[in-house]
Amino acid sequence: MNISSLNQLVHIFHKITDPRDPKGVRHDFHGMIILVFLGLLGQLPYIAWTYRWAKKYWHILRAPLGFKKMKPLVETTISRALAGYSLEELQISAERRVQSAKCQYSAL
């Protein structure tokens, strides 16, 4: 996956609403969703596995996904942030974004 592909994912998933209370938010919600999406795409069924993969490639993933810290966030942070979002909501939202992107890119 190259940087432009990551940028496209950021654009697609950025319209998902962040269910967290804005007070105390440290990490980019959309970046976390994209990270989990990439993990699932790579057949990594557990957040801990996705975390280990992301840690290895953090130097590539950090900036395009909107993370500012040099060290990757821990898997507990990801699971807590995503706990406020149901899997069904995430699937519906992701399907809409992917379909929208398909329509945009097929028109080109």
Question: What are the structural domain ranges in the chain?
Answer: 3-13+27-107
Of all residues in the chain, the percent with pLDDT exceeding 70 is 79
* Average pLDDT of every residue of the chain: 78
Assess whether pLDDT exceeds 80 at residue 106.
no
Closest to 14 (Cα-Cα) out of 75, 74, 64, 68: 64
Confidence at 33, pLDDT banded by 50, 70, 90: confident
The string over 33-58, giving b where at least 16 C-beta atoms fall within 10 Å of a residue's C-beta and e elsewhere, is bbbbbbbeeeebeebeebbebbeeeb
According to the model, what pLDDT value does residue 78 have? 82
